[in-house]
């Protein structure tokens, strides 16, 4: 079954995401020094994406 042409995008829209996935948040917190090894990944503090 094919997809209707009106549903196909005209290219990827490059917008800045305001929500990070958990692994992205952990990586960012590690860079900032706010995440230690062995710390729980549930209940992480809110983080804004890097600019």
Domain regions of the chain by residue span? 17-51
In the chain, the largest separation of any two C-alpha atoms, in whole Å, equals 49
Length of the chain equals 51
Across residues 2-11, what is the average pLDDT?
A: 76
How many CA atoms lie within 13 Å of 20's alpha carbon, on the beta-carbon side?
16
Alpha carbons 35 and 25: distance in angstroms, whole number:
10
What token pair was written down for 25? 């948040």
pLDDT confidence of 46, banded at 50, 70, 90? confident
What token pair was written down for 29? 């917190």
Per-residue pLDDT at 31: 92
Q: What are the φ and ψ backbone dihedral angles of 31, each rounded to 5 degrees?
A: -60, -35
Please give the mean pLDDT across all residues of the chain: 82
């Amino acid at each position: 079954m094919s997809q209707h042409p009106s549903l196909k995008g005209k290219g990827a829209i490059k917008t800045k995401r305001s929500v990070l996935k958990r692994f992205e948040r952990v990586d960012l917190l590690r860079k900032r020094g706010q995440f230690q090894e062995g710390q729980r990944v549930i209940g992480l503090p809110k983080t804004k994406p890097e600019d």
